[in-house]
């Protein structure tokens, strides 16, 4: 018994000592900002795209800020458990906490059913991190279609036959399909919901569905594997990773733009000096050659958008989502 207690105390002491040493190493003088570890909130469970990208990013940001940057996963409510906290962060107490807000996911507050009182103004956005365009894909070698034009024609000619796997209701991928249904006459597809990117591809390869909506970074490796055929990129320009895949607009004449964007945010009302410092540090970290090369290998598209440009971008996005009103669309 006694031996056990002694051992437990010794272990506890060792852990405590180790932790305090780690903290001591992390903190610099009290006047400087930042003077303690930065918490970086990822609003999803470990394993998703944002989580992967932030875990890759944290060491580079840490090098520039001179303090450790620790990832904190706060998942739930389609991101809103974390985002609701971000709107309430204290400018003094939480000045060492930053987080990621995902778009268009965050715009789910526009859906009146969510009864969410927050809006874009509730957040203190710092700068953009990345912008991953949406993409439509089909099985490589599908005899029915290999281009977007053929796909649209097939859907219009065969009503009720084609199914697209689009992830969650209201996701960027679902909104892109909803937009197409609204603006391309006769275009009507069945949609399977609730799938993450992995399950979408499982359904596509297993021939349960005919097409998938997703994002460039996740789908490019599957195209390179020779299994997925990319029909169109839902962006203003072609993706550098897919020079042979046309934009949706090029192929169909319909301006269907959608993407998954990640934007950094800090405590509302954070002192302007600190905000400026954070923005500069984040952008410098994004620009580190080693980091950007690693992100390019992952087919991610980095996008540093800040100040007025960021505001215009987000307001424009909110206006589009408010116009399409995906929550009112028939399934």
Partner 1 sequence: MFIEETFSYLGNIITIENFLAMLLGVTIGLVIGAIPGLSPPMAIALLIPISFEFNPATALILMVSCYAAGIYGGSFSAILLRTPGTSASAASAIEGYELTRTGQAVMAIKVSTFASVVGGIISGFVLLFLSRSLAQVALWFGPAEYFLIAMLGLTAIASVSFGSVTKGLISGLFGLCISTVGVDQFSSFPRFTFDWIGLQAGIGILPAIIGLFAFAQGLELCAGQAHGNISGLKTLSWNIWPRLSEMWQIKWSLMRGWICGLVVGIIPAAGGSIAQWIAYAWEIRRAKPGDNFGKGEVKGLAATEGSNNGVTGTSLIPMFVLGIPGGISAAVILGALSIHGLQPGLRLFKNNPEVIYTIMWGFIGANVIMAFVAIIMARTFAYLTLVPRGVLGPLIILFSIVGVYAGSNNVYDIWIMIAFGVLGYFMEKYNFSTAGVLLGLVLGPIAEEGLRNLLIISDAAPVSFIMGRPVSLVIVFCIVVILSFTFTRKRKEKAQTEGKSVDD
| Interface of this chain with partner 1, residues 135 to 174, rule: CB under 8 A | 160, 163, 168-170
| β-strand partners of 211 | 138, 164
Please state, in angstroms and rounded to a whole number, the distance separating the CA atoms of residues 27 and 67. Answer: 7
CB of 126 to partner 1, least distance (A): 21
Within the chain, what is the greatest distance between any pair of CA atoms?
80
| CA-based nearest residue to 212, from 235, 232, 186, 238 | 232
Size of the site for partner 1 (CB under 8 A): 57
Judged by beta carbon, residue 245 or residue 252, the one nearer partner 1 is 245
Q: Reduce the DSSP state of residue 199 to 3 states and report it.
A: helix
* Residues 268, 271, 277, 281, Cα dihedral to 10°: -20
Q: Is residue 73 left, alpha or beta, with left meaning phi > 0 and alpha meaning psi from -120 to 50?
A: beta
CB of 25 to partner 1, least distance (A): 15
Reported residue count of the chain is: 331
Binding mask 283-312 for partner 1 (x = CB under 8 A): -----------x--xx--------------
| Interface of this chain with partner 1, residues 184 to 213, rule: CB under 8 A | 190-194, 198-199, 201-203, 205-209
Choose which of 80, 123, 136, 241 interacts with partner 1 (CB under 8 A): 80
Cα 266 off chain centre by:
17
CB of 143 to partner 1, least distance (A): 19
Choose which of 84, 254, 277, 310 interacts with partner 1 (CB under 8 A): 84
Q: Reduce the DSSP state of residue 234 to 3 states and report it.
A: coil
Please, are residues 104 and 322 in contact by the beta-carbon 8 Å criterion? no
Binding mask 103-142 for partner 1 (x = CB under 8 A): -----x--x-xxx---------------------------
Stretch that binds partner 1, among 42-50, 131-139, 140-148, 312-320 (CB under 8 A): 42-50
Lookup result for tokens 């992390």: 26
Please, are residues 5 and 14 in contact by the beta-carbon 8 Å criterion? no
- Does position 224 interact with partner 1 (CB under 8 A)? The reply is yes
Query: What does the binding site for partner 1 look like in residue numbers (CB under 8 A)?
Result: 1, 4, 45-48, 51-52, 55-56, 58-59, 71-78, 80-81, 84, 108, 111, 113-115, 160, 163, 168-170, 190-194, 198-199, 201-203, 205-209, 221-222, 224-225, 294, 297-298, 327, 331
């Amino acid at each position: 018994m006694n031996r056990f207690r002694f051992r437990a105390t010794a272990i506890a002491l060792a852990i405590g000592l180790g932790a305090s040493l780690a903290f001591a190493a992390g903190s610099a003088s009290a006047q400087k900002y930042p003077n303690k570890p930065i918490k970086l909130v990822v609003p999803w469970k470990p394993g998703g795209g944002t989580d992967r990208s932030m875990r890759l990013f944290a060491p580079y940001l840490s090098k520039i800020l001179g303090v450790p940057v620790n990832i904190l996963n706060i998942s739930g409510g389609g991101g809103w458990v974390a985002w609701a906290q971000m709107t309430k962060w204290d400018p003094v107490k939480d000045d060492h906490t930053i987080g990621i807000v995902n778009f268009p996911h965050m715009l789910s507050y526009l859906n009146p059913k969510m009864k969410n009182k927050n809006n874009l103004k509730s957040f203190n956005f710092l700068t953009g991190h990345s912008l991953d365009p949406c993409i439509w894909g089909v099985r490589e070698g599908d005899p029915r279609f290999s281009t977007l034009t053929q796909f649209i024609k097939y859907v219009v000619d065969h009503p009720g036959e084609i199914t697209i796997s689009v992830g969650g209701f209201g996701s960027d991928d679902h909104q892109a399909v909803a937009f197409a249904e609204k603006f391309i006459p006769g275009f009507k597809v069945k949609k399977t919901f609730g799938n993450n990117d992995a399950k979408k591809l499982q359904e596509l390869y297993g021939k349960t569905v005919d097409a998938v909506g997703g994002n460039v970074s996740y789908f490019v490796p599957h195209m390179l594997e020779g299994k997925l055929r990319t029909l169109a990129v839902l962006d203003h320009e072609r993706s550098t990773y897919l020079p042979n895949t046309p934009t949706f607009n090029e192929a169909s004449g319909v301006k269907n733009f959608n993407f998954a964007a990640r934007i950094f945010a800090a405590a509302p009302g954070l002192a302007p000096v600190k905000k400026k410092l954070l923005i500069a540090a984040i952008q410098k970290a994004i620009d580190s050659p080693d980091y950007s090369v690693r992100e390019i290998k992952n087919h991610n598209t980095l996008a540093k958008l800040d100040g007025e440009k960021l505001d215009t971008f987000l307001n424009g996005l909110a206006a589009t989502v408010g116009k399409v009103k995906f929550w009112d669309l028939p399934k």
